[in-house]
Amino acid sequence: MSQLRIAVIGDHFMKAHFFSEALHAALPDAALDIRTLELDWPDTPMAHGYSEAAANPDLKGLKEYLGDPLEMAAFIGDAEVLVDHLAPVTAGLLQRCPQLKLIAVSRGGPVNIDMAAARAHGVQVVNAPGRNASAVAEFTIGMMLAETRLITKGHVALMRGEWRGDLYRADRTGEELCNQTVGLIGYGHIGSKVTKLLRAFGCRILVSDPYVRLDDTDRAAGVEQVDLATLLAQSDIVSLHSRVTPETTGLINAATLAQMKHGAYFINTARGPMVNYADLYAALQSGQLRGAGLETFGVEPVPQDDPLLRHPNVTLTPHIAGASIKTVKHAAALCAEEVRRYVAGEPFVNPS
Instruction: List the catalytic residues.
Output: 271, 300, 319
Q: Is 232 left (phi over 0), alpha (psi -120 to 50) or beta?
A: alpha
CB 332 within 8 A of CB 21: yes
CB 127 within 8 A of CB 247: no
Rounded CA-CA distance 24/31 in Å is: 9
Rounded CA-CA distance 113/115 in Å is: 6
Rounded CA-CA distance 48/224 in Å is: 36
CB 290 within 8 A of CB 264: yes
Angle in degrees, 0-180, between the axes of helices 133-148 and 189-199, rounded to the nearest 10: 50
Rounded CA-CA distance 205/222 in Å is: 8
Rounded CA-CA distance 106/168 in Å is: 45
